[in-house]
Amino acid sequence: DVKVTQSSRYLVKRTGEKVFLECVQDMDHENMFWYRQDPGLGLRLIYFSYDVKMKEKGDIPEGYSVSREKKERFSLILESASTNQTSMYLCASSLWVGNTEAFFGQGTRLTVV
């Protein structure tokens, strides 16, 4: 069964902290994505990666960075967390970009206080 696993369901962090959100997929997919979901705004792409050590900015990369050292793992990093980064974060992976479906993790609800 296809699986994308995010390391935490809920996180509470303080303003200014460095935050790591981890995502692992077991499907040998080339592509991995990080989305942010906010009420009324839907899902917005933060960063994506189409290969190990490769990354590209999505629609809202400011305040975030990513790391992909191994094919199965894609990390989202908040260098200095701020309250406006309180959100639901969703990781996804897909075999190809465009013509195949993406599989999503269960989401991490991050609260920055």
**Residues that bind another protein in the complex, under the rule CB under 8 A:** 9, 33, 40-43, 45, 48, 50, 56-58, 88, 90, 92, 96-107, 109
User: What is the rounded CA–CA span in Å between residue 12 and residue 24?
Assistant: 21
Nearest to another protein of 14, 55 (CB atom): 55
Nearest to another protein of 14, 98 (CB atom): 98
Nearest to another protein of 13, 109 (CB atom): 109
Q: What is the DSSP letter of 50?
A: S
- Which is it for the CA torsion 67, 4, 98, 71, positive or negative? positive
